Amino acid sequence: MTMNFLVFLCLYISSAFMIIGYGQFAKNLLIPNKNDGYEFGFIGLFGFLFLYFISSIIIFFSNINNFISLVVFLLGNILFVLFLLKKKYDYKFLVLFISILILFLPLAIIAEPNEDFFFYYQPYINYLQSSKIIFGVVNINSTLAFSTYSLYDIIIFFNLNNLFQNNYSTPILIFYFLYLVFLIEILFKKFSLFYFIVMFLSIVSFNKLRDIGTSVPPQLLLIMISCLIYSLLLDGFKEATFTKILLLLVFAIILRFNSIIILPLIFLIFLKYIKYVLFYLNNNKKIIFFAMSVAVLFFSKNVINSGCLVYPVKTVCFENLFWSSNLEVTEQKYHKLSSDSKGWPFYAKENFDISDKFVWRNLNKEGFYSYNTYLAQSPTLWMKYWIKDPNYKKVLNLFFLCIFSLVVTLSFRSGKIDNQYLKRKNLIFFLISIIFVIVFWFLVSPQMRYGGYFCFIILFSLIFSSITKFISKNCHKYSLFFLIIVSISYVNIKNLQRIYIDFNQNIFLNFPWPNNHELNENIDYTIFTKDDVVYNKRLRTEKLVFDNGEQAILMCGNINFPCIPDGKEVCLGEKLNKKGFVFYTKNKNKDDCYKFMNENILY
């Protein structure tokens, strides 16, 4: 066990160094001779974006096997050492980053990955490892075509299974730690209670690695963008600040397309600084070209995988492509996911006698809105069902945490720190912009995991930091120190308790690595052939199943690509080989596929 833990710790630290190495390399390549204004935390996150760029190019020419992953991993660590020897890093923030890695180590030790991992992400990793990009992979298994897998296009490089146990969760945690380092850096540059409350709420809110998954990282980027915009309003337009906003915006959108909820804020800030923005665009062609290249790669991959710019959004799908998805099914998926975010399952349970935990069928009866028509109804209908979702409690938690921080901040009267505030005009501008963003979020995807944390962390931080301004213009270092100690202690105690319980209940299969459940041939899946192509068909057993009574979601987990759940073979398309690429055409039995998916739409 001791050796296992040392190997885990070694990979944990070297993964962080690898990302920093690529971040510094990307900065030197794209933003040379501009050392001022680029935080250590930002450089690390730039490394993630650069790795996405590398991955997206490789997948057009080759699968990303263990050898490629190992080469990329080792090269990143070599770059880190070279830049360290050349003194390219700010050592105090490098030490801070390493300290955070160690301080929050309990966060990194989990028995089970995110609950979606074995259904969505591990099969996607298997696809990347097995094949270069496939035209119409959506026609093998539609769960492989979602536009939210960009983070796993990066995480594939940490997949060193021949050497270590699965290492999928570590990069997500490193992403979060780089975000915290960024917040600390901007606090050191110019202290503002707004930044501090953002950091306090973030530490307390994102306290479990399993809950971070792929939905939180893009929100962290949106929070960073908002902090940088706050900085613009505080100090005026700066080229480095705008560069960071641009790159983080592109990164947030490719990680999760609904990050476009921030666009009202971006649009208004562009209008405010339009002269500076036009000058910037004319004089920073290299960084503009890189940002556009990343965006083009993102949308191109989506079109190749599914025939849609963003899957599953029917309005941006190209029906005339012979490999594009079944548009009726695509539309159903979109309606289901969007309706669920607005409380449709609670509406359905109220109108039908349903004891199952989940509602997956597209129910119909007179006077009842199916999930196809539910979206078209006014918010006055769906708000009363949306409020039944526990999501609103998370908003209340943020609000009460802000009240707690305000009380603590005003309780100490010594050790003053000068606090920087926005001028009244800029404060009103920022507040109105954030309200526009929240309205957009509420109408489009009103779930905390789809942007809600970003919206309310920024809103409450802005409001409560402004309240402090009117009561006590300066902050007090003892109150800040107390809040940091409380938040760090809360996170570590909670995670140490979880580890202790999981360890004593023998939930860990190989401590401290996350569990990797094996699915066995002829038990959990069978092999079948269709049109001379071999597929793996997942069967319903006790392993890796979302059980919902008669219905169940069957996860492909570690089963080799291509894997499809039992019953979904009716949606398989025909395999073709053209010009060195594999194509899967639309399924000819559209009606049969639609009928099956209408009952199992989350497949």
Residue-wise pLDDT tens digits, 123-138: 999 999 999 999 999 9
Written as six digits, the tokens of 352 are 């039908």
For the chain, domain boundaries: 1-321+338-345+369-513
Residue-wise pLDDT tens digits, 358-376: 887 888 888 899 988 998 8
Question: 29 near 54, Cβ under 8 Å?
Answer: no
Check residues 25 and 544 and name the one with the higher pLDDT. 25
- Spell out the SS3 assignment of 208-220: CHHHHCCCHHHHH
Residue given tokens 């190495």 in the structure block: 21
Distances (CA, A) of 421 to 233, 409, 516: 10, 16, 49
The mean pLDDT of 103-113, rounded to a whole number, is 92
Query: What pLDDT does residue 164 have?
Result: 52
Query: What pLDDT does residue 140 have?
Result: 92
Report CA 226 to chain centroid distance, whole Å. 17
Written as six digits, the tokens of 573 are 């398309």
Distances (CA, A) of 91 to 40, 444, 546: 9, 43, 47
The mean pLDDT of 235-252, rounded to a whole number, is 95
pLDDT at 165 over 60: no
Check residues 55 and 115 and name the one with the higher pLDDT. 55
pLDDT at 111 over 70: yes
Query: What pLDDT does residue 598 have?
Result: 80
Query: What pLDDT does residue 166 have?
Result: 63
Residues 6+ apart with CB under 8 A from 229: 245, 265, 269, 430
Binned at pLDDT 50, 70 and 90, residue 7 comes out as: confident
pLDDT at 595 over 70: yes
Q: Strand 563-565 relative to strand 533-538: parallel, antiparallel, unpaired?
A: parallel
Binned at pLDDT 50, 70 and 90, residue 220 comes out as: very high
| Range name among 160-164, 531-535, 557-561 with the lowest pLDDT average | 160-164
List strand residue ranges (DSSP E) for 385-479, in order: 416-417, 475-476
Query: What pLDDT does residue 531 have?
Result: 85
pLDDT at 335 over 70: yes
Binned at pLDDT 50, 70 and 90, residue 229 comes out as: very high
> What letters, b where the CB count within 10 A reaches 16 and e where it falls short, cover 373-399?
ebbeeeeeebeebbeebebeebbeebe
Amino acid sitting at position 353: D
CB atoms within 10 A of CB 533: 14
| Local structure of residue 142 (DSSP, 8 states) | G
Q: What percent of the chain has pLDDT over 90?
A: 67
| Local structure of residue 261 (DSSP, 8 states) | G
Binned at pLDDT 50, 70 and 90, residue 464 comes out as: very high
> What letters, b where the CB count within 10 A reaches 16 and e where it falls short, cover 410-435?
eebeeeeeebbbbeeeebebbbebbe
Residue-wise pLDDT tens digits, 525-538: 999 998 889 999 99
The mean pLDDT of 409-437, rounded to a whole number, is 86
The mean pLDDT of 42-68, rounded to a whole number, is 96
Which of 217, 199, 209 lies closest to 96, judged by CA?
A: 199
- Dihedral (CA of 557, 560, 561, 564) sign: negative
The mean pLDDT of 289-299, rounded to a whole number, is 97
pLDDT at 472 over 90: no
**Most trustworthy range by pLDDT among 28-32, 216-220, 353-357, 544-548:** 216-220
**Residue-level length of the chain:** 603
Task: Find the angle CA(29)-CA(33)-CA(34) to the nearest 5 degrees.
Answer: 100
Query: What pLDDT does residue 36 have?
Result: 67
Written as six digits, the tokens of 418 are 């000068």
Binned at pLDDT 50, 70 and 90, residue 553 comes out as: confident
Residue-wise pLDDT tens digits, 96-105: 999 999 999 9
Check residues 91 and 1 and name the one with the higher pLDDT. 91
